[in-house]
Amino acid sequence: MKLLKIAKREYLQRVKRKSFLIGTILGPVLMGVMIITPALIMSRGGQRQTRLAIADMSGSIYSELNAGLVDTLADGSMMFSLTQLKVGSQNEFEALKSGLNFQVSKDLIDGYLFIPQDIVTEGKAVFYGKRVGDIKSIERVKSELSHCVISKRLSSEGMDYSVVKNLIEKVDLKTIQLQKGEEKESNFDFLYFSSFIFIMMLYMTILMWGIAVERSIIEEKNNRIIEVLLSSVKPFDLLAGKILGVGSVGLTQYAIWGVFGIALSFYGVSMGGSVAKFSAFSPVTIIFFVVYYLLGFLFYSTMFAGIGAICNTDREAQQMQTPVVMALAFTIIIPMMIIQNPDGTFSTVISMIPFFTPIVMFMRINVLMPPMWQIALSIAIMLGSIYIAGQISAKIFRVGILMYGKRPDAREILKWLRRA
Amino acid sequence: MLELKNVVKNFDNIKAVDGLSMMIEPGGIYGLLGPNGAGKSTTIRMIMGIIQPDDGEIMLFDEPFNEKAKEKIGYLPEERGLYRRMKVLDHLVFLGEIKGIKADVARKRAMEWLERVDLKDWADKNVDALSKGMQQKVQFISTILHDPELVILDEPFTGLDPINTQFLKDIVVDMKDHGKTIILSTHLMDQVEKLCEKICLINKGKKVLEGNLSDIKLDFSRNVISLGFSGDISALENHPEVEKVRSFGQDISITIKEGADTDSILRTAIDNGKVDRFEIGEMSLHDIFIAKVKEEGSEVEDEIIKNS
């Protein structure tokens, strides 16, 4: 089978390259970094001590605030260091401000807080600071200040803060997802998060390897080997061999990630991590993931191949592939809608449109298993679409692959389709 | 071996090949000659099944075109290249495999060939590490690695240095001696004159002339003098028995009238300049081509006269 020889070359050439290994290892690492870093930055926002000057006009808040803000940093030191400003009136404070501003600008303090005399009744205070984006510290100060003020208001009504706090404690609503009548503890954040990782992987691999097929065709046109190939194999074998070879590279990449993933989850378990988190990636999920990758890759790479056949440079191809890439990108901007209503009309219809099926249907399966007939229908639609796209692409490929120079316009391509 | 019957191929409104018929017997070197744009490459692509003829019939190995026939043909296209990021030996094995030979056979033969052309040490290097001349050698090897019955070379000498030109000519002669059939397509007619036994001259998609090269030469060369001459041409032009003089610098081609006295023409030449060479009846293929095209009443483009 000459098709397999083409596929073998295409596969080995890619897998043997260093860039494949680097990309395969670096991909998830980068993705992990992208996800973890913002969370890390947010959580470690107050890693250094926040020094605040407090102008307390009410005279009774400072001591309570100071007593309340006893949070510690990771290294055990105090998170806040407060100093009280001796001010008797609003005017005095205004006079002090320029000095305080100077201290902030010289980084001697991080900010200052103005607490008016009527804070208990009016509930208003002002914070001045350079790093107003340090949400964590500011939120902490705000909540502690509120706590002081509320407890003052309550005690003036003869109530005790801690008692009231217990009385108004919120209800904790646990969500249990019912799957085939079985209970499964669900967590929206985790569901969203895991679905999103999976669809990002689907999106990136389909796009990356689909475009790899396109570029490989353009390369063969540019280095003029195409005619030698066509004198040995049928255009269809060349096209199909290419798609098969490149698609297998994607599967290899998944296999590598899979092995890493399993190793990582065992490591996670051995370190006492939550097993539940990893068990969400069930074998069924993995199987559907691979199935929809294959369907999506075949569908999109066939189209990319057609584009490659009529373009002479990567730049030309980039223009032409934009609508196709946009169709694929559409699926990664709607996961919220799908997750909120996985079996609604919108989700059902969208998941049956071949451009969106691979990612959307997979997402539905991940969130709430759709009826079996819908899954079967989506696969049938995909297979049909792949067949049609393949027919069209093969015809364009046959004619376009030997064309150098001017890129054909839509009218010419239609002519090829009729003639071939 | 190969037969074309009334083959037609149009591109939009241009007739690239216009009712071409050709018959190629097994064995020997067959020249497919004509100026650029005559339809040679298009004809070859149709023979290889890369493009389909609009009309007519092509018989390969006595049957209509089929995929299996590709394995018996070695084809060096005019537009040729290699994968730059593949190792030389792997590349040759791959091209051999898609021609239907087993990987280990391909590997063995490729190594033999690489050794023969002094590229053995390059077998494990990437193609883009090779010089252009070396890459051309690799291309030749890939064309004949599967030991084809029929070899089609489209403008094989374009861009070759003298060493590679000679190397390729040696391969071609060697293959002929082994009973293979070679089709040599080129616009450099004079370069293949000594190689080909049979030729087919085409112009604007139509056959101009076909047959044994020696017969054709005999037919066309009775009233032509080829002269190596420096001096005053006008005396020759005014000679009563001269029909026409064409000058290519030092090489002059004189068409004489039927039954002319060639001695008298030689004497005129000696009197009016220096003669290095005087040959009766040897007309170059290139001149034959132009004469034939004119004879049929077609215009010969200036470019062809100068370059072909």
pLDDT confidence of residue A270: 62
Task: Report chain A residues whose CB lies below 8 A from the CB of B98.
Answer: 2, 5-6, 229, 232-233
What's the whole-number mean pLDDT along residues A371-390?
Answer: 93
pLDDT, tens digit (0-9, with 9 covering 90-100), for A285-323 = 888 989 999 999 999 999 999 999 888 888 888 888 999
Query: Would you state the structure tokens that stand for residue B178, as one six-digit string?
Result: 């082994």
Highest mean pLDDT among A33-42, B171-180, B214-223: B171-180
Task: Report chain B residues whose CB lies below 8 A from the CB of A232.
Answer: 70-71, 95, 98-99
Top-confidence residue, B6 or B247: B6
Query: Which amino acid, A220?
Result: E
At a CB cut-off of 8 Å and minimum separation 6, what does A217 contact?
A242, A305, A308, A309, A397, A401
What's the whole-number mean pLDDT along residues B77-98?
Answer: 92
Predicted confidence band at A183 (pLDDT cuts at 50, 70, 90)?
low
Residues of chain A above pLDDT 90, percent? 22
pLDDT confidence of residue A22: 87
| pLDDT at position A279 over 60 | no
pLDDT confidence of residue B304: 54
pLDDT confidence of residue B83: 92
Top-confidence residue, A182 or A216: A216
Distance (Å, rounded) from C-alpha A265 to C-alpha A262?
5
CB contact under 8 A, B77 and A224: yes
What's the whole-number mean pLDDT along residues A373-389?
Answer: 94
Q: What range does the domain containing A280 cover?
A: 187-419
CB contact under 8 A, B98 and A234: no
A310 within a domain of the structure (yes/no): yes
What's the whole-number mean pLDDT along residues B174-199?
Answer: 88
A249 within a domain of the structure (yes/no): yes
CA distance B56 to chain A (A): 17
Terminal Cα distance for chain A, rounded: 24
CA distance to A9, A77, A308, B284, per residue, from A402 (Å): 21, 72, 12, 35
A6 touches chain B (CB under 8 A): yes
Task: Report chain A residues whose CB lies below 8 A from the CB of B95.
Answer: 228, 232
Distance (Å, rounded) from C-alpha A119 to C-alpha A123?
5
A309 within a domain of the structure (yes/no): yes
Which of the four CATH numbers 3.30.70.100, 3.20.20.70, 2.40.50.140, 3.40.50.12780 does domain B218-307 have? 3.30.70.100
In this structure, are A104 and A233 located in the same domain? no
Distance (Å, rounded) from C-alpha B128 to C-alpha B111?
19
A71 within a domain of the structure (yes/no): yes
B2-212: CATH architecture: 3-Layer(aba) Sandwich (3.40)
CA distance to A299, B75, B86, B137, per residue, from B89 (Å): 34, 19, 8, 13
Contact A361, A351 (CB under 8 A): yes
Task: Report chain A residues whose CB lies below 8 A from the CB of B142.
Answer: 228
Residues of chain B above pLDDT 70, percent? 94
Question: Which of A10, A218, A232 is the mutation pick for testing B, counting most B CBs within 10 A?
Answer: A232
Contact A125, A138 (CB under 8 A): no
Q: Considering only the beta carbons, identify the residue of B50, B75, B97 that sits closest to A402.
A: B50
CA distance to B18, B69, B70, B300, per residue, from A234 (Å): 26, 12, 10, 39
| pLDDT at position A354 over 50 | yes
Distance (Å, rounded) from C-alpha A314 to C-alpha A1?
30
In this structure, are A352 and A224 located in the same domain? yes
In this structure, are A112 and A58 located in the same domain? yes
pLDDT confidence of residue B151: 94
Kindly report the average pLDDT of chain A as a whole number.
Answer: 83
What's the whole-number mean pLDDT along residues A236-255?
Answer: 92
CB contact under 8 A, A224 and B79: yes
CB contact under 8 A, A228 and B80: yes
Q: Considering only the beta carbons, identify the residue of B45, B67, B75 that sits closest to A234.
A: B67
CB contact under 8 A, B77 and A231: yes
CB contact under 8 A, B50 and A5: no
Contact B17, B55 (CB under 8 A): no
In this structure, are A135 and A255 located in the same domain? no
CB contact under 8 A, B79 and A2: no
In this structure, are A281 and A350 located in the same domain? yes
Contact A150, A161 (CB under 8 A): yes
Q: Considering only the beta carbons, identify the residue of B51, B82, B97 that sits closest to A5.
A: B97
Contact B188, B31 (CB under 8 A): no
Top-confidence residue, A408 or A113: A113
Top-confidence residue, B289 or B32: B32
Domain with residue A158: its CATH number is 3.40.190.10
What's the whole-number mean pLDDT along residues B166-177?
Answer: 90
Predicted confidence band at B221 (pLDDT cuts at 50, 70, 90)?
low
Query: Would you state the structure tokens that stand for residue A366, as one six-digit string?
Result: 């991940």
Contact B289, B308 (CB under 8 A): yes
What's the whole-number mean pLDDT along residues B215-233?
Answer: 79
In this structure, are A201 and A146 located in the same domain? no
List all residues of chain A from 333 to 392 with a beta carbon under 8 Å from chain B. none
What total number of domains does chain A contain? 2
Q: Which residue of A has its CA nearest to B98?
A: A2
Q: Considering only the beta carbons, identify the residue of B50, B81, B99 that sits closest to A225.
A: B81
Q: Is the ipTM of this complex over 0.90?
A: no
In this structure, are A234 and A380 located in the same domain? yes
Distance (Å, rounded) from C-alpha B258 to C-alpha B125?
63
Backbone angles phi, psi at B172, to 5 degrees: -60, -45
In this structure, are A297 and A404 located in the same domain? yes
A33 within a domain of the structure (yes/no): no
Task: Report chain B residues whose CB lies below 8 A from the CB of A406.
Answer: none
For B111, counting Cβ atoms within 10 Å of its Cβ (0-12 exposed, 13-18 middle, 19+ buried), the class is: middle
Q: Considering only the beta carbons, identify the residue of A5, A13, A234 that sits closest to B86.
A: A13
A371 within a domain of the structure (yes/no): yes
Task: Report chain B residues whose CB lies below 8 A from the CB of A13.
Answer: 83, 85-86
What's the whole-number mean pLDDT along residues A73-83?
Answer: 80
| pLDDT at position B7 over 70 | yes
A153 within a domain of the structure (yes/no): yes
CA distance B54 to chain A (A): 11
Top-confidence residue, A401 or B38: B38
Dihedral over Cα of B37, B43, B49, B54: its sign: positive
What's the whole-number mean pLDDT along residues A5-20?
Answer: 91
DSSP designation for B126: B
pLDDT, tens digit (0-9, with 9 covering 90-100), for B22-75 = 999 898 999 998 888 888 989 998 998 888 888 999 999 988 888 888 899 999
Distance (Å, rounded) from C-alpha A227 to C-alpha A3?
16
pLDDT confidence of residue A275: 45
| pLDDT at position B100 over 60 | yes
In this structure, are A276 and A213 located in the same domain? yes
What's the whole-number mean pLDDT along residues A190-212?
Answer: 83
CB contact under 8 A, B50 and A230: yes
In this structure, are A246 and A392 located in the same domain? yes
Q: Which residue of B has its CA nearest to A399?
A: B51
Task: Report chain B residues whose CB lies below 8 A from the CB of A233.
Answer: 70, 98
A182 within a domain of the structure (yes/no): no
In this structure, are A268 and A153 located in the same domain? no
Top-confidence residue, A385 or A254: A385
Top-confidence residue, A245 or B282: A245
| pLDDT at position B294 over 90 | no
Kindly report the average pLDDT of chain B as a whole number.
Answer: 86
CA distance A259 to chain B (A): 29
List all residues of chain A from 176 to 235 with a beta carbon under 8 Å from chain B. 223-225, 227-234
pLDDT, tens digit (0-9, with 9 covering 90-100), for B257-285 = 877 788 888 888 888 888 888 887 767 77
Contact A101, A121 (CB under 8 A): no
Q: Taking an 8 Å Cβ-Cβ cutoff, which residues of chain B contact chain A?
A: 45, 48, 50-51, 67, 70-71, 73, 75, 77, 79-86, 94-95, 97-100, 142
Task: Report chain A residues whose CB lies below 8 A from the CB of B11.
Answer: none
DSSP designation for B121: G
Question: Which of B45, B48, B50, B126 is the mutation pick for testing A, counting most A CBs within 10 A?
Answer: B50
Residues of chain A above pLDDT 70, percent? 87
Predicted confidence band at A179 (pLDDT cuts at 50, 70, 90)?
low
What's the whole-number mean pLDDT along residues A330-357?
Answer: 86
| pLDDT at position B13 over 80 | no
The structural domains of chain B, with segments of one domain joined by +, span 2-212, 218-307
In this structure, are A304 and A350 located in the same domain? yes
| pLDDT at position A107 over 60 | yes
